[in-house]
Amino acid sequence: MVLFATSCATTGSDSSSAPAMTSFGSWNGSLTAATKFGLVAGKIDQKNTYAWLGIPYAAPPVGDLRWKAPQDPEPWQGVRAATKFGPKAVQAAALLGWTQGSEDSLYLNIWRPATTESNLPVYVWIHGGGNSSGSADASPSYQGFNLAANANAVFVSINYRLGLFGWFNHPALKTGTDPETDSGNFGTLDIIKALRWVNENIASFGGNPAMVTVGGESAGAFNILTLLMAPSAQGLFQRAIVESGYRTSTTPAQAEAFATDITKKLLIKEGKAENDTDAEKLLSSMSKAELAGWLRSISAKKLMSVIKAGNSGMLPFPYPVFDGQVLPSEGFAALADSSKIAAVPLIIGTNKEETKIFQWLGGQKSSDPLYQPLAELTSARWKADGADSIADALVSAVPDYPVYVYRFDWGAPDSAGKSVMPGKLGAMFGAFHSLEIPFFLGSDTVLGKAVPIKFFTKANEAGRTALQAQMGQYLANLIHTGNPNQAGTQASNASSSSLPFWEQWNAAEQNPAFMVFDASLTQSKTRLEYGRTTRESVRARLETEFQEPLKSRLLAAYSKE
């Protein structure tokens, strides 16, 4: 065992309580903790927690390391200050479109209760953003002090490579000797690298490396689904929470075609070729090493300039690459193969009106008769693809697989068109994509400072906080015991005995159980419902519930979404 000497002055903590020595692999209550690569000094944060921010879990993937599997960070001497977030990954700014962030972005953050307790469960949060935007500090909801305090757990959040830097499968970058680098799945590999860092280092922060839960929303949830079937991620986590996940399908050939097209656009933009034909001729004349070196020499800003971001800052690009090494070649079909999945206890679900926020961002008016039914139908399809069918596949592969499905309804208008949100916000946004995050993580902020809309009000506080306490308790139970119904020793805001019993998903049932998370202005309305949503059932609803001329408009819009 390696011992690291520490100074009380280094931590900024009370000298009467700060230990004189920090030992790698053990927690002793000090703001200075020992990692494999050196000492880090954190800070006291809100809710009586300690925080360590901006800890490198991998070497900066710059220069020759751009588009290579993540490497260990360089060890450092002395005590590294860990009080500020690391840079966000390179991405396009929402609405504005300009390039922001840094390629040097592989950092993680840790929060834990300010106690001497060790062997706490660990919750690793993976941010969303279409795998092309976002960061561990993109929203105040991601601040880990709430969950750390409420669940008596260690909270970890991470940054990982995004967009063209995270998933880029160009033939010139392949080594022939490193299957991970050759896969093109650099963002996926970053997440696995972070989990490996947690496995090796989290005991120094009082976390239990054998009790790790991965949680994420949207692209973060998507990435967790890939972790379930990534061979190199096996054993690095023991539970999972998938919020508003989805599926994509990209073959190596498709990913290579995209990367080649990007390369041709770069050659034209750089003035090295006048058109695609010239670019193809130039590519054929360059050696593999020459092309790889040129690609790695181009600035991040120029790389980003050849692909147009949407209003939200997300880029249209193919990910991940189902290469047969890092990820199975059959893609998400592997979820139905018991030999290829990590059958860890899983909470998975979607929101009742996922798509409303995208309709709003796209300029649709909530007063349009199309707005509400289109949101309901496309969000039901999201439930079919992102929750129910995945639960069916997993439980069919492993019949006793503990899968717990939910639908988040808070904010959605009721049958009379009334919402717990103020004014017209229920009609415009309702139970939109990402709204469940502050309920699970225990924060009081929605979307963040960029969208200062008051969804949370004094009028809806009683019901909202009751629902938040229940959802936080289900999460805390899962990370402590592997069962959302079974409490561990964690602190709680809601008694587990008051929670509705959450039945596991039964793929053999015609109408399996799922939990509905909802609340009135004054109290929680959490309840079990029964049924399975499929693409066929959503289409049938569209065909039978609506009359012309709305029906034709819905069919056209539904087909485009």
Residue 442 belongs to a domain: yes
Backbone angles phi, psi at 374, to 5 degrees: -65, -40
Q: Where in the sequence is the domain holding 526, given as residue range(s)?
A: 345-560
Residue 312 belongs to a domain: no
Q: What total of structural domains would you count in the chain?
A: 2
Which residue is associated with the tokens 């160009």?
170
Long-range contact pairs involving 234-237 (C-beta distance under 8 Å, separation at least 24): 234/342, 235/342, 236/192, 236/195, 236/196, 236/198, 236/199, 236/212, 237/124, 237/195, 237/212, 237/213, 237/342, 237/344
Q: Which of 243, 258, 273 is the last residue of a domain?
A: 243
pLDDT of residue 446: 81
The answer to whether the beta carbons of residues 411 and 432 sit under 8 Å apart is yes
Q: Coil, strand or helix: which one is 178? A: coil
- Give the pLDDT confidence of 449-499 residue by residue, as tens digits: 556 789 999 999 999 999 999 999 999 999 999 999 999 865 445 555 689
Alpha helices in 349-401 (DSSP H): 356-361, 371-383, 389-397
Cα–Cα distance between 240 and 225 in angstroms, integer? 9
Mean pLDDT, residues 115-143 taken together? 95
Residue 506 belongs to a domain: yes
| 18 has pLDDT over 80 | no
- Give the pLDDT confidence of 414-458 residue by residue, as tens digits: 999 999 999 999 999 999 999 999 999 999 888 765 567 899 999
Q: Which of 243, 263, 294 is the last residue of a domain?
A: 243
Residue 403 belongs to a domain: yes
Residue 276 belongs to a domain: no
Residues 92 and 223 in one domain: yes
pTM > 0.75: yes
CA angle 350, 355, 358 (to 5 degrees): 135
Minimal CA–CA distance to 140: which of 456, 534, 391? Answer: 456
Residue 149 belongs to a domain: yes
- Give the pLDDT confidence of 386-420 residue by residue, as tens digits: 999 999 999 999 999 999 999 999 999 999 999 99
Residues 233 and 358 in one domain: no
Residues 103 and 225 in one domain: yes
CATH number at residue 131: 3.40.50.1820
Q: Which of 191, 222, 243 is the last residue of a domain?
A: 243
- Give the pLDDT confidence of 249-308 residue by residue, as tens digits: 899 999 999 999 999 999 999 999 999 999 999 999 999 999 999 999 999 999 999 998
Residue 273 belongs to a domain: no
Residue 337 belongs to a domain: no
